[in-house]
Chain A
Amino acid sequence: MAYIEIENLSFAYDNKTTALQDVSLSVEQGEWVSILGHNGSGKSTLSKLLVGLLRPKSGSIRVDGFELSEDTLADIRRRIGIVFQNPDNQFVGVTVRDDIAFGLENLCIPREEMIERIEEYSKKVDMFDYLNKEPQQLSGGQKQRVAIAGVLAMRTDVILFDEATSMLDPEGRSRLLQDMKRLNEEGGTIITITHDMRDAVHSDRIVLLKNGGVLADDSARNILGDKELLEQASLELLLPLELMHTLQAEGLGDDTLREYLWQLSLNG
């Protein structure tokens, strides 16, 4: 059984429109899955459902064997941590130290261990020197790294990035992507929710959402190589991929060139 199993999940904010319709997907431990979709495809709703911030209309979510309900909410939130889109609106503490401590305080971790974990994980995201800084002294990227440290310190099994790079400058975003890569290499399970190809190319698998339903669920390379599919989901292609598709359509270019372009898109 997979670590996260979502079965026939549906959700609606009101009676007229459904935000999610019959979504089923699973995530294995250690995997990096991107949930890719255009605005209004239901991807953010999915992330909120996953940690019980919204209650599904029908269907089930199972994390590490626990089925999501009122009673298991706390257990599931101990296993999935989220880094949200807006760096400012998820910074709870007055300083970096307080913010990393916030989740630990909620889990009733003893003070001595809290101090150790804050040191360990702030070093991990390179924010150790900033522990006493206030959020307004930090850049967006730094704030997101603090959010990651806060989640890491809680030692969740899965980290979910909900559009976490969309409000960052280019430098902040590439730094954040590097962090994601490193976490995944160290064995962490990562789910990125995004509309941006650049965030999705590195993942093992992509789940393509459209109008609240799963359009495709395949390896990153297969999905990004399928031009029609991406056009259906009204997503913008990365430049090297666009070039690859054009060459393919014209019957030009050999496999070496396509491989090269694929590698190039990974670097973007």
Chain B
Amino acid sequence: MNNVVIGRYLPGNGVLHRMDPRTKLLGLVFLLASVFLIDRFFHMLLALGLIIVLLLVSRISPKRVYLGMRPILFLLLFTFIFQIAFNEEGDLLWSLPLNWSLSSLAAVVAIVFLWGFTRRYVRFSLLYFLLGAAAVLTALANLDYGYTLTTGTLEVYEDGLQSAFFIMFRLIVIVAISTMVTMSTKPTDLNLGLEYILKPFKILRVNTEEIAMIIAISLRYIPTLLDEANKIMLAQASRGVDFKEGRLKEKVTQIVSLLVPMFIISFQRSDDLANAMEARSFVPGAPRTKLHVLIWRRLDYVALVVIFALFLASLGARLV
């Protein structure tokens, strides 16, 4: 259940924590749009710089944000390598002759295996991966003993390198902004902000209050259901089900043995909950007053103006 923790709210008292959830949601939308509008490398560097400044000002632990980025590290690397290898525009910066010989291929296989077996013992997995990649390239460039199948060159062009960094930075900025918003806002506040922001959709007969109530109740019951799932897993484990190992087919039956009771329990719970809510005078769609109200403060106005200015600037930069 550890991956649920990523992007989870952490109490704090920074600028972002004090901001109204509506500001953060609107800000998130406009900043994401801006990041997609930007098309120059220098502007992206600026955006990255701004995010780093915001990260430092908001007193959110950078380590947490990095942890939020871990799941997309592979994607980052993949797009990076893809851009470098296949983008052949601009000046040639660097080229490396590669020998696909028997000896170098054997070395590559050996390195990959060694990396695969030892990586779980190394703490800095990203660094270790880069080390492995460097070793593979060195082997390919230098080992030409034995029968040579084919030769090729790895060529790095200026534009390729630039767009590789550009795309990587863009992904980093996007994930960092989103993570910072979710880490500085309680889910309930986020939900409340969403309810306010979606209010205009009432014209389209979308009942935003009901949607917000549904989200609120889901948020309320996630920990309870996780707890329940844990209990069922323990109960099944005590009867010999091993959730950690087994082939795919066994895994499927294990999941079924977890899901079926979960389903039944959830339905019972929702039946109980519906009764409890109704007994406390809840009528879906009826007018209600609210305990929590959101108030715009000066900080929010300032933030919105700054964000909107940034959005206009990036729009302008794109059009010019």
Contact = CB atoms under 8 A, between A and B. Distances in A.
Given A77-B281, A82-B279, A110-B289, A94 B220 contact: yes
Most buried by B among A89, A95, A97: A89
A234 B136 CA distance: 79
Interface string B272-287: 1101111111110011
A21 B108 CA distance: 82
B67 to A, nearest CB: 23
Given A109-B289, A134-B223, A98 B273 contact: no
In this complex, the member of B268, B278, B283 whose beta carbon has the largest number of chain A beta carbons within 10 angstroms is B278
Contacts of B247: none
B210 to A, nearest CB: 14
Given A105-B288, A106-B288, A94 B281 contact: no
A81 interface: yes
A106 B276 contact: no
A104 B223 CA distance: 25
Nearest to B270: A89
A98 B188 CA distance: 10
Interface string B108-134: 000000000000000000000000000
Contacts of B312: none
B217 interface: yes
A114 B289 contact: yes
B277 A81 contact: no
B223 A136 contact: yes
B287 A91 contact: no
Max chain B C-beta neighbours (<10 A), residue from A78, A104, A106, A115: A106
A91 B272 CA distance: 10
A51 B278 CA distance: 9
Contacts of B273: 89-90, 92
Interface in B49-80: none
Interface in A76-93: 77-78, 81-82, 84, 86, 88-93
Nearest to A90: B276
Contacts of A136: 223-224, 227
B280 A150 contact: yes
A108 B282 contact: no
Interface string B174-216: 0000000000000110000000000000000000000000001
A74 B281 contact: yes
A151 B280 CA distance: 8
Nearest to B269: A89
Nearest to A134: B223
Nearest to A114: B291
Contacts of A114: 289, 291
A102 B224 contact: no
B302 interface: no
A103 interface: yes
A155 to B, nearest CB: 12
Contact of A98 (B269, B276, B291): B291
B293 interface: yes
B80 to A, nearest CB: 41
A126 B227 CA distance: 26
Contacts of B276: 82, 84, 89-90, 92
A53 interface: yes
Contact of B291 (A82, A84, A105): A105
B220 A135 contact: yes
Nearest to A110: B289
Contacts of B239: none
A106 B280 contact: yes
B290 interface: yes
B219 interface: yes
A71 to B, nearest CB: 13
A111 B224 contact: no
A25 interface: no
A19 interface: no
Nearest to A84: B276
Interface in A199-253: none
B216 A78 contact: no
A107 interface: yes
A69 B2 CA distance: 50
Contacts of A92: 217, 220, 273, 276-277, 280
Contacts of B278: 51, 53, 77
A188 B286 CA distance: 29
Contacts of A89: 268-269, 272-273, 276
Contact of A90 (B216, B223, B272, B288): B272
Interface of B: 187-188, 216-217, 219-220, 223-224, 227, 268-269, 272-273, 275-283, 286-291, 293
18 contacts: A53-B275, A78-B281, A82-B279, A89-B276, A90-B272, A91-B220, A92-B273, A92-B276, A92-B280, A94-B187, A94-B216, A102-B277, A105-B290, A106-B283, A106-B286, A111-B289, A114-B289, A136-B224
Given A94-B216, A136-B223, 6 more contacts: A53-B278, A88-B224, A102-B277, A106-B281, A118-B291, A150-B280
